[in-house]
Structure 1
Amino acid sequence: MLDLTLITTFFLVFMRMVSFTFACPLYAIPGIPPLVKAGLSFILAVLITPMVKPVSADLPGGLWGFGLVVFSEVGVGLVLGLVCTFVFNVIRMAGQLLDFQIGFAMASVMDPLSGSVNTLVSRFLYFLTLVLFLNVDGHHVLIRALAKSYELVPLNAAGINGEVTLLIIRIFADTFALAVQICAPVVAVLVITDLAMGLVGKTAPQMNIFQLGFPLKIAVGVASLAILLPALTSVFKILFDTLEKDLYLLMKGLA
Structure 2
Amino acid sequence: MLSDLIQINLFAFFLLFARIGTVFMLMPGIGTAYVPVKVRLTIALAICFIITPLLVGGLPVAPGSQIDMMLLLLSEVTVGLFIGLVARITVGALQTTGTLIALFSSLANALIRDPIAEQQSSLIATFLSMLGMVLIIVTDLHHLMIRGVIESYSLFVPGQSLSFGDFSEMLARRFADSFKLGVQLSSPFLLTALVYYVGLGILGRLMPALPVFIVVMPLQIAGQLSFLMVSLSAMMMYFLSQFEDAIIVFLEP
Q: Structure 2 length as normaliser, TM-score?
A: 0.92
Q: Distance in 1 between matches of 2:168 and 2:32?
A: 27
Q: Distance in 2 between matches of 1:9 and 1:78?
A: 19
- 1:234 CA displacement: 2.7
Deviation sequence 1:133-175 (CA, Å, 0-9, x none)? 1111011111111110122222222502423321211111111
**1:106 partner SS:** coil
Say whether residues 1:201 and 2:213 are aligned partners. Answer: no
Q: 1:89 aligns with which of 78, 86, 92?
A: 92
Structure 1 letter corresponding to 2:68: G
Within-5 A mapping of 1:55-204: 55-57=60-62, 59=63, 62-204=65-207
CA contact (8 A) 1:6 1:54 kept: no
Large movers: runs of 4+ above 3 Å: 245-248
Deviation sequence 1:20-50 (CA, Å, 0-9, x none)? 0001122112222211111100110011111
Q: Distance in 1 between matches of 2:241 and 2:82?
A: 21
Structure 2 letter corresponding to 1:27: I
CA contact (8 A) 2:25 2:31 kept: yes
User: Unpaired segments of 5 or more residues in structure 2?
Assistant: none
- 1:54 CA displacement: 3.4
**Partner of residue 59, structure 2:** 54
Q: Distance in 2 between matches of 1:150 and 1:49?
A: 12
**Partner of residue 40, structure 2:** 37
Structure 1 letter corresponding to 2:98: G
Structure 2 letter corresponding to 1:206: A
Structure 2 letter corresponding to 1:212: V
Structure 2 letter corresponding to 1:72: S
Deviation sequence 1:168-191 (CA, Å, 0-9, x none)? 111111111111111000111111
Say whether residues 1:234 and 2:226 are aligned partners. Answer: no
Q: Distance in 1 between matches of 2:154 and 2:25?
A: 22
Pairs aligned (count): 248
CA contact (8 A) 2:112 2:126 kept: no
Structure 2 letter corresponding to 1:25: P
Say which is worse superposed, 238-247 or 113-122, in terms of deviation. 238-247
User: Unpaired segments of 5 or more residues in structure 1?
Assistant: none
**Partner of residue 243, structure 1:** 246
Say whether residues 1:12 and 2:15 are aligned partners. Answer: yes
Structure 2 letter corresponding to 1:106: N
Q: Distance in 1 between matches of 2:72 and 2:52?
A: 16
Say which is worse superposed, 204-213 or 73-82, in terms of deviation. 204-213
